[in-house]
Amino acid sequence: MTGIIYAFPRIPLKVILMQVRLRRFYSYAVVLFLWLAGANAYATLNIEIFGGGATQIPIAIVPFAGEEKISQSITPVVAADLQRSGLFRLVDPAGLRPHEPVEVSYPDWVNRGAGALVIGSTTILAGGQVAIRFQLLDVAKQEQLMSYAETVPAEQLRAAAHRIADMIYEKLTGDVGVFSTRIAYVVKQGKKYSLQVADADGYNAQPVIEYTEPIISPSWSPDGTKLAYVSFENKKPVVYVQHLATRARKAVANFRGSNSAPAWSPDGSKLAVVLSLMGGSQIFLINADGGGLQRLTQSSGIDTEPSFSPDGRYIIFTSDRGGSPQIYRMPVTEGVSRSAERLTFEGSYNVSPRYSPDGKSFTFIHRGGGGFNVAIQDLATRQVQLLTDSRFDESPSFAPNGRIILYATEIKGRGILSAVSSDGRTRQQLSTQAGDIREPAWGPMRRLQN
Amino acid sequence: MGSHAKAAKLASAFLVNLKGNEMKKVVAVLLISLLTACASQTKKSDAEVEDKSAGAKPATEAPRATTEAAPTLNPLTDPNNILSRRSVYFEFDSFVVKDEYKSLVGAHAGYLRSNPNARVLLQGNTDERGSREYNLALGQKRADAVRYAMTLSGAKESQIESVSLGEEKPRASGHDEASWTENRRVDIRYQGE
């Protein structure tokens, strides 16, 4: 960018600075391994958690019977998932190893401070499949909250562990778990750009496409089967849609000039894209296969970064039509619109808006005195909360349950991924040892595995 | 010696602006031009070179110059020609073409006017700060500003495509003001280069 950096008017900010709690009550460093498929190389993914709400649920997870014999233990994955959510505190089983409800001595767990207890077992069946069973127990009430059993192929043990974490999370918080979802992001390593898709915990990273020219703005189709993105492989930005399973891809916006900022309509039938085809950078609608060009915005300035409301009736976008980049909303109707409702007023640089999954708020990047930060604004009350205090945050996107916002930030000149809870209380850093990571996008819910 | 060194400096500056695949094509041209410059130890005026080839020689035939003598040097790649200068720099948060680049933009517009078959791609760039997509749009504004200036000087709209690379292709990789200044720029690239 070039602009506006030192030009902030001294307006008293109504922005509420969240108590970004860097007190490091709970500071964990969970070292995971990110398999860079195809490269046959391992890079380390560190997840560091800062802060944590006052009301964390103390949970003890007993290693399942027999899980040391299977290729992927279940309970470490479940524990890491729950811990990363910021809503749980792990209680050490300290030698106790019950695997059946009848083996549980509740007073022992009360003494350890556990509120919930997870026990279970894994059994390798003939043919290599693994039978998994677990129980979730309420320690105070001394009763079973849930019981579950399933049989999976060995290569789906991590997926099964994420499902179990989702079930526990949902039972204890009443909210939808997102541990079975995926994220997309771009890794720059040397001169190579790689668009990758990984599980929400950073494991199982697979390159979607690799190129020696930049790739930006990945966007998930609502059904999670396709990614739209912008590639510079042809000396200019062109929008592609790529099917993840077949790897087939198509240039869906390759008009004269620049083509960028793809956003899927909630029904997956259309894409909002930004084209310079008719002068300036303006927002258009195209069909998901590239046909049916239709102009949406008409201004003399920049209109970019569209995001659809969950009901598909509105888009929010960045525009400099008022002199500085701000966020606007307009209805998606049949015709082109010259007018839009301005949503942001604090500061002179508000960009990269994304609707929350419930449509009640949006996240965006706000430039304040300290840098570019992730913020969230309530659409009804117009109240703004700053969620981070770093210097160069970019590209925020909501987890499909709306509880976490994934974004790119920078440490020592290198791009890393971070996540912040949408109440600002918990933050995580995800980083690989090698490469520069940017442009994260959190994928949709994926409850049917493989 | 002085003119030799200057030619070499210009040539290397030019090479820095090119990608690997373009290098091969251009290296031969530059070697010839360097040798010529060394041999003659004289500098041609910009106007002289421009007059000789403008109108007579379409840009797309550039590589043929490698096998010919100095007088038919491609003006677009001749380091002594203003047309070999391909970058227009911008102030912070600005897409106004500064006065010091008016002659450069005008020279390219003149070339396009004299060579109706020539096509040019204008690539707008920004520094790294802020939203990548917003920067892409800002780079587009810069490229559009150069395109507008060229059309005012007589180039046809149909000869020019303006696109943006935003902050994605920084020439300087640092995270300081010097690098940001270098990266706020529009590059002029002719078809076939």
Which residues, other chains included, contact B156 with Cβ-Cβ below 8 Å and sequence gap of 6+? B112, B116
Q: Is the torsion defined by CA of A294, A332, A303, B153 positive or negative? A: positive
Lowest mean pLDDT among A39-53, A212-226, A302-316, A341-355: A39-53
Which one is predicted more confidently, B6 or A363? A363
For A13, which DSSP code? Answer: P
Partners of B129 on chain A (C-beta within 8 Å) are 1-2, 5, 372, 392
Q: pTM of the prediction? A: 0.78
Given a cut of 50, whether residue B43 has pLDDT beyond it is no
Does B140 sit within 8 Å of A281, measured CB to CB? yes
CA distance A424 to chain B (A): 21
Residue of A nearest to B168 (CA): A214
- pLDDT tens digits, A297-309: 999 999 999 999 9
> What is the SS3 assignment for A430?
strand
* Tokens (6 digits) for B104: 């450069």
- From chain B, the residues in CB contact with A7 under 8 A are 93
Contact criterion met (CB below 8 Å) for B33 and B11? yes
Q: Does residue B75 surpass a pLDDT of 70? A: yes
Averaging pLDDT over each range in A84-98, A301-315, B80-94, which range is the top one?
A: A301-315
Q: Kindly write down the DSSP assignment for every residue of A14-46, as one continuous string.
A: --EE-----S-SS-EEEEEEEEETTTTEEEEEE
Q: How sure is the predictor about B94, in pLDDT bands with cuts at 50, 70 and 90?
A: confident
* pLDDT given for residue B153 in this prediction: 95
Q: Which of A38-42, A91-95, A270-274, A326-330 has the lowest mean pLDDT?
A: A38-42
pLDDT of residue B54: 36
The answer to whether residue A375 neighbours chain B at the CB level (below 8 Å) is: no
Distance of CA B156 to the CA centre of its chain: 18
* B137 with A216: Cβ contact below 8 A: no
Residues of chain A with C-beta less than 8 angstroms from the C-beta of B90: 2
In this prediction, residue A351 carries a pLDDT of 97
Name every chain A residue with its beta carbon within 8 A of the beta carbon of B166.
216, 237
Instruction: Tell me what the mean pLDDT of segment B119-131 comes to.
Output: 94
What's the rounded Cα separation, in Å, for the pair A368 and A349?
A: 8
Average pLDDT for A418-426: 87
At residue A165, the 3 state secondary structure works out as helix
d(CA B53, CA A252): 41
Q: What is the distance between the alpha carbons of residues A215 and A194, in angstroms, rounded to a whole number?
A: 8
Tell how many helices (H) and how many strands (E) occur in chain B.
6, 4
Tokens found for residue A271 = 């894409």
Contacts of B161 in chain A (CB under 8 A): 236, 256-257
| C-alpha closest to that of A444 among A121, A182, A55 | A182
Burial class (CB in 10 A: 0-12, 13-18, 19+), A49: buried
Q: What integer pLDDT is reported at residue B7 of this predicted model?
A: 46
Of chain A, the percentage scoring pLDDT greater than 90 comes to 73
Q: What number of other Cβ atoms are within 10 A of residue A383's Cβ? A: 13
Q: Indicate yes or no: CB of A256 within 8 angstroms of CB of B161.
A: yes
Residue-level length of chain A: 450
Question: Chain A residues with CB inside 8 Å of B189's CB?
Answer: 235
Contacts B167 to A, Cβ<8 Å: 1
User: So what's the pLDDT on residue B192?
Assistant: 85
E strand or H helix at A286: strand A282-287
Q: Which B residues in the span 105-144 are in contact with A, Cβ-Cβ below 8 Å?
A: 121, 123, 126-127, 129-138, 140-141, 144
Tell me A281's DSSP state: B
Q: Does B190 touch chain A (CB under 8 A)?
A: no
CB A260 within 8 A of CB A277: no
Kindly state whether A276 is in contact with chain B, defined as any CB-CB distance less than 8 angstroms.
Answer: yes
* B161 reaches A (C-beta below 8 A): yes
Instruction: Please state, in angstroms and rounded to a whole number, the distance separating the CA atoms of residues A352 and A343.
Output: 13
For residue A280, the chain B residues in CB contact (below 8 A) are 137, 140-141, 144
Q: Which of B88, B98, B123, B132 should one mutate to test binding to chain A, selecting the residue with the greatest count of A CBs within 10 A?
A: B132
Q: pLDDT band at B2, cuts 50/70/90?
A: very low
Report whether pLDDT(B44) > 90. Answer: no
Q: Give the residue with greater pLDDT, B15 vs A286.
A: A286
The answer to whether residue A237 neighbours chain B at the CB level (below 8 Å) is: yes
Residue of A nearest to B167 (CA): A1
Question: Is the interface score ipTM higher than 0.95?
Answer: no
**pLDDT for A228:** 98
Contact criterion met (CB < 8 Å) for B133 and A392: no
Average pLDDT, chain B: 75
pLDDT in tens, A113-152: 999 999 999 999 999 999 999 999 999 999 999 999 999 9
Other CB atoms within 10 A of residue B100 CB: 9
- CA dist., res. A11 & res. A17, Å (int): 15
Q: Which residue of chain A has the CA closest to B164? A: A258
- Interface-testing mutation among B136, B147, B171, B187, with chain A (most A C-beta atoms within 10 A): B136
Q: A279: nearest CA in chain B? A: B144
Confidence tier at B35 by pLDDT (50, 70, 90):
very low
**Is the separation of the CB atoms in A150 and A167 below 8 Å?**
no
CB A239 within 8 A of CB A273: yes
Asked whether A144 and A117 are in contact (CB, 8 A), the reply is no
> Between chain A and chain B, how many beta carbons pairs sit less than 8 Å apart?
128
Interchain contact, A395 vs B123, CB within 8 Å: no
HSE-CB at A20 with a 13 A cutoff on CA atoms is 15
Whether B42 has a pLDDT exceeding 70, the answer reads no
* Interchain CB contact of A282 with B (< 8 Å): no
Higher pLDDT, residue B64 or B133: B133
User: For B121, which of A217, A235, A305 is closest by C-beta distance?
Assistant: A235
Q: What percent of chain A has pLDDT over 70?
A: 86
Closest residue in B to A373 (Cα) is B130
Using pLDDT thresholds of 50, 70 and 90, give the confidence band for residue B41. Answer: very low
Task: Give residue-wise pLDDT tens across range B143-152.
Answer: 999 999 999 9
Q: Average pLDDT for residues B112-130, to the nearest whole number?
A: 95
Point out the least confidently predicted range of A37-41, A199-203, B20-24, B104-108: A37-41
Q: Quick one: DSSP state of residue B158?
A: G
Please check whether residue A137 is in contact with residue A117, taking contact to mean a CB–CB distance below 8 angstroms: yes
- Which residue in B has a C-alpha nearest to residue A320's C-alpha? B134
Phi and psi at residue B62, to the nearest 5°: -50, -50
B22 touches chain A (CB under 8 A): no
Q: Does B81 touch chain A (CB under 8 A)?
A: no
* pLDDT class of A48 with cuts at 50, 70, 90: low
Q: Does B94 touch chain A (CB under 8 A)?
A: yes
What mean pLDDT is predicted for residues B3-24? 45
Q: Is the pLDDT of residue A155 over 90?
A: yes
Q: What is the pLDDT of residue A58?
A: 95
Average of per-residue pLDDT values in chain A: 86
Q: Which residues pair with A151 in a beta bridge?
A: A131
Across residues A247-275, what is the average pLDDT? 97
Provide mean pLDDT across the span A14-29: 28
For residue A201, the Cα-to-chain-centroid distance in whole angstroms is 10
CA–CA distance, A51 with A405 (Å, rounded to integer): 15
In this prediction, residues A321-330 reach a mean pLDDT of 95
Q: Which of A293, A211, A212 lies closest to A259 in space, CA to CA?
A: A293
Question: DSSP states of A61-114 as a string?
Answer: EPPPBTGGGSSS-SHHHHHHHHHHTTSEEEE--TT----SGGG--HHHHHHTT-
Measured between CA atoms, the residue of chain B closest to residue A365 is: B131
Start-to-end Cα distance in chain A: 41
Minimal Cβ distance to A2: which of B168, B184, B189: B184
pLDDT the model gives residue A83: 87
Strand A259-264 relative to strand A270-275, pairing: antiparallel
Distance in Å, alpha carbon of A61 to nearest chain B alpha carbon: 42
pLDDT band for B5, please (50, 70, 90 cuts): very low
Q: How far is CA B135 from CA A84, A305, B121, in A?
A: 33, 11, 18
Among residues B30, B34, B29, the alpha carbon closest in space to that of B4 is found at B34
The rounded distance, in Å, linking the Cα atoms of B36 and B39 is 5
Instruction: Check CB contact of A216 with chain B, cutoff 8 Å.
Output: yes
Residue A431: pLDDT band with limits 50, 70, 90? low
- Check residue A52 and give its pLDDT: 52
Contact A91, A113 (CB under 8 A): yes
pLDDT of B34 > 80? The answer is no
Is residue A382 over pLDDT 70? yes
Lowest mean pLDDT among A45-49, A92-96, A246-250, B188-192: A45-49
Which chain A residue shows the shortest CA-CA distance from B177?
A2
B94 contacts in A (CB within 8 Å)? 2
